[in-house]
Amino acid sequence: MTPMMRQYLDIKEQHKDAILMFRLGDFYEMFFEDAKTASRELELTLTGKSCGMDERAPMCGVPFHSADGYIARLVAKGYKVAICEQMEDPKQAKGIVHRDIIRIVTPGTIVDESFLSTRSTNYMASVFVEDGKCGVVFVDVSTGEMMGTAFGDDPNCDKLISELERFSPVEAAVGGKGRFHKRLEEYIRDHKESMLVFSYEGEDVSPSARATVDNHLTNGGEIKDPMLLTAAAALLEYLVETQKSDLSHIREIRIYSSGEFMDIDPGSRRNLELVETMRDKSKKGSIFWVLDRTRTSMGSRLLKSWIMRPLINAAAITNRLSGVEELVKTPSLREELGDALSDVLDIERLMGRVSMGLCNAKDLVSLRSSFAALPRIYKALCSCRSVIMNTQAAMFDCLDDVYDILDRAIVDEPPATLREGGLIKPGYNEDIDRLRGASEHGRGSLGSIEARERERTGIKNLKIKYNKVFGYYIEISKSNLDKVPEDYIRKQTTVNGERFITPELKDVENAVIGANERLEALEYEEFVRVRNRVGAEVERIDRTARAIATADCLYSLAETAVKNNYVRPEITLTDEIYIKDGRHPVVEKVLKNGLFVPNDTELDCGANRAAIITGPNMAGKSTYMRQVAVITLMAQMGSFVPASKCRIGIVDKIFTRIGASDDLAAGQSTFTLEMSEVSYILKNATKNSLCILDEVGRGTSTYDGLSIAWAVIEHIVKKIGMKTLFATHYHELTVLEERLDGVKNYNTACKKRGDDITFLRKIVRGGTDDSYGIEVAKLSGVPNPVIKRAKEVLATVERGSVGGEPRQVKDEPQLSFAAVEESPVAEALRKIDVTTLTPIEAMNELYKLQQMLDG
């Protein structure tokens, strides 16, 4: 086996779980199984390399200068990639070049720009679970944000899983005896496509954890919980092991308790479409989509986390609301702040790369241009009067000194490479200027040599040229060869003439090349000095970045409030939710201007505890209930709300159970899923919660469903006492208003004329006794014969139920199969080729269709 191959195998042995990219000259090569995997995943040609064994080793490679993209693609597909570099200059190496792993790239630790979507966070989680207790830590390596929490009592991992859902990490380290808990294993299995997981042995709380944590974090001492401590230490050790770099930007952990935030379970977060829609998981159509008018990616990420974790502390909420209000009321200030914010790039992530030694000169230029905007932002913050804005101003640092260094040191448009010079501005470093001068002087002297030699030889077209093989040479065309002086040394004959060198030319060349080499080395050194100088200020810079993110969120909420005509909610310590003319922020945006019908809401823990909402399908029940939850949530995150007046008594948790057939994908039947969600709600709700139940009991037979719905409402109203909205098609439930204190009936107003029905989308007091099912069926295009037959059946059923008899079909109705065949109108419609139809023809077709309907 060749020595190189032996070196490769030694290194590979230590990194079996990763694809090893092995630097050979200008390429990163992969061998054996890694080569096969990479060639398949990256569509690279698989070749072979003789390595001293019988067979050639399968091999494929990528050029080192474009490796980042390939690495990112492998990581995106869930692989780890270990990068092995040449640790010395191959020219100077004695024997085999020393090589070592410089970094292991994983989904949770990648900081490559092309991979990270700027608007969302990329979390890695570390979890330690034991005896029903657990600690969990999340870190975004690209920005240095780290936070953790612990649960002293979480036997079923519910709380843990809720946190995992909230952060949706792309990678997780899982340790402790409890890591095999059934629920946790299920969660991991369900997320194996999107989350790379490794479990580590740690059976006991690690004794060295305290030292590890104190070593890396300035506030490690704040971690008291042993589970959290072990999880944090495991994470830090893993990061050091894989990144092999200074992680100075990860230096603080924010320990939170889930009690600081409104509790929203993962299912409800999905149901309410907080950050993505249920159907296609897109941002468009979500609450985040409506609210996000941030100008920076840092602001956008923070806003998302505000939506995912609304507050429950009245003072903190009011603080945010007052900041928003100030910006709403002062348009000039808002505009100025927005403009200034637009010039700020992703400082957090840029600083991540600076701290990890992965940034290039372009990154420093990005930081510089961001810092240039700071004085304007600071000025805007200082002219604000709200407490929250003043707090941001107090945290703020205009970083003049750092800006100054960057401004003086780094050229405006540096190259992407760091080793080929062209990075440092003139006037920053004397040695660099001197070498540049020498190099330029050398090149300049070539001109005078050329002129002198033309004179001396009398060859008018004598030229000094340069190529990589000979360096500088003199070119003489064929016709002038007889005039070549004795002292020229012939180097090469070409078609058109000959090439010569002279000792003088070689002296100049050595000076120029020597100067260039030293220049490149010196520029790189200076670049690293500047980078480290900026890196040393990470604390000030991060603090300022956080202030910017907060200001940007408030800006975004203010801008949205103005554009969408929202009002400031009043936050109270009562148990009341009062909304006048409330709208659903997303539905109102999707509908054309002014079509959305506003509705009022009045809930409390007394006479208006539960609202039972009846009405036909498509009448707007679900939209109404979601709008109440969403407005409450928006108010508690500090946003203005779509209403004309709003008072929110702080809610501790929001629960939703919204019938979604999509859930079938999870493999559970709708009904079991529904019931497990209901049981979760009943077990976790408090008097201060808000609950939305949409068509509970639908997944089973009528009587079962009705009885379950009935019992659930009774339990909620009597035992829990929380505010509840309950949409149902069981009209029987409206009798609860008389039987239970706190229950009020509502229905969705409809206008009915003959068989036709119009939805007014207005929620009004009182129950309905008519489900309008048949009318809705008609509206939805069910063929006329079926509608007609349905009415006959209904009549039979209703006759059957007269006299207190159970509703049962006495005469088995004979449903004709002809009725379910497609109507001729639909058939004709299908045949029309819309792409070739002229407007006149379309009118004619429409006319014909109408005729068919009447006939």
Positions touching ligand ADP (CB under 6 A) are: 587, 591, 595-597, 615, 617-623, 761
* Residue 516 or 622 with smaller CB distance to Mg ion: 622
Determine if 560 is a binding residue for Mg ion (CB under 5 A): no
Question: CB under 5 to 8 A by kind: which of Mg ion, ligand ADP, none does 618 bind?
Answer: ligand ADP
- Mark residues 47-66: x for contact with Mg ion by CB under 5 A, - for none: --------------------
Residue 150 touches which member of ligand ADP, Mg ion, none, C-beta under 5-8 Å by kind: none
Amino acid letter, 376: R
Q: Please say which residue, 277 or 480, places its beta carbon nearer to ligand ADP.
A: 277
Residue whose C-beta lies closest to Mg ion: 622
How far apart CA 550 and CA 393 sit, in angstroms, is 11
CA–CA separation, 582 vs 563, rounded Å?
A: 16
Token representation of residue 417: 């490479």
29 CB-near residues (< 8 Å, 6+ apart):
21, 22, 23, 35, 49, 59, 60, 61
Smallest distance from the beta carbon of 233 to ligand ADP, in angstroms?
49
DSSP 3-state assignment of 293?
Answer: coil
Minimum Å gap between C-beta 802 and ligand ADP is: 29
Spatial separation of the C-alpha atoms in residues 174 and 229, rounded to whole Å: 14
Among 328-336, 394-402, 620-628, 737-745, the segment contacting Mg ion (CB under 5 A): 620-628
Among Mg ion, ligand ADP, none, residue 294 binds (CB under 5-8 Å by kind): none
Give whichever of 371 and 624 is closer to ligand ADP, judged by the CB atom.
624
Q: Which partner from the list Mg ion, ligand ADP, none does 619 bind, CB cut-off 5 to 8 Å by kind?
A: ligand ADP
Query: Rounded to a whole number, what is the largest CA-CA distance in the chain?
Result: 130
Binding mask 571-610 for Mg ion (x = CB under 5 A): ----------------------------------------
Q: Is the backbone of residue 766 left (phi > 0), alpha (psi -120 to 50) or beta? A: left
Q: Which is nearer to Mg ion, 159 or 626 (CB)?
A: 626
Q: What's the sign of the alpha-carbon dihedral 85, 88, 89, 92?
A: negative
Q: How far is the CB of 142 from Mg ion (least distance, A)?
A: 40
Residue 773 Cβ, how far from ligand ADP at the closest point, in Å? Answer: 12
DSSP 52-100: SSSSPEEEEEEEGGGHHHHHHHHHHTT-EEEEEEE-S-TTT-SSSPPEE
**Ramachandran region of residue 638, left (φ > 0), alpha (ψ -120 to 50) or beta?**
left
Q: Does 622 bind Mg ion (CB under 5 A)?
A: yes
Minimum gap (Å) between residue 566 Cβ and Mg ion: 25
CA distance 312 to 653: 9
Instruction: Dihedral sign for Cα 416, 417, 420, 425, please.
Output: positive
Which is closer to ligand ADP, CB of 107 or CB of 285?
Answer: 285
CB of 724 to Mg ion, least distance (A): 16
Residue 39 partner contact from Mg ion, ligand ADP, none using kind-dependent CB cut-offs of 5 to 8 Å? none
- Nearest-approach distance from CB 738 to ligand ADP, in angstroms: 24
- Least Å distance, CB 254 to ligand ADP, is 39
Nearer to Mg ion, 622 or 748 (CB): 622
Q: Nearest 10 degrees: CA dihedral of 510, 515, 520, 524?
A: 140
Residue whose CB is less far from Mg ion, 320 or 626: 626
Quick one: 239 or 658, whose CB is closer to ligand ADP?
Answer: 658
Sole window of 84-92, 269-277, 619-627, 791-799 interacting with Mg ion (rule: CB under 5 A):
619-627
The interface partner of residue 796, options being ligand ADP, Mg ion, none and the CB cut-off 5 to 8 Å by kind, is: none
SS3 state at 44: coil
* Cβ proximity to Mg ion, 142 vs 622, nearer residue: 622
Stretch that binds Mg ion, among 75-83, 617-625, 705-713, 794-802 (CB under 5 A): 617-625
Q: Residue 162: helix, strand or coil by DSSP?
A: helix
620 binds, among Mg ion, ligand ADP, none (CB under 5 to 8 A by kind): ligand ADP
Question: Nearest to residue 353, comparing CAs of 541, 215, 119?
Answer: 541
The window from 163-171, 418-426, 614-622, 683-691 that contacts Mg ion (CB under 5 A) reads 614-622
Quote the CA–CA distance of 51 and 31 in Å, as a whole number. 11
Query: Could you give the CA distance from residue 3 to residue 21 in angstroms, rounded to a whole number?
Result: 17
- Residue 583 CB, nearest approach to ligand ADP (Å): 7
Residue with Cβ nearer ligand ADP (28 or 772): 772
Tell me how far apart the alpha carbons of residues 603 and 629 are, in angstroms, rounded to a whole number: 12
Give SS3 for 729: coil
Which CB contacts under 8 angstroms, 24+ apart, belong to 29-33? Answer: 29/59, 29/60, 29/61, 30/59, 30/60, 30/61, 31/5, 31/57, 31/58, 31/59, 32/57, 32/58
Cβ closest to ligand ADP, residue 349 vs residue 761: 761
Least separation in angstroms between residue 620's CB and Mg ion is 8
Q: What residue ranges bind Mg ion (CB under 5 A)?
A: 622
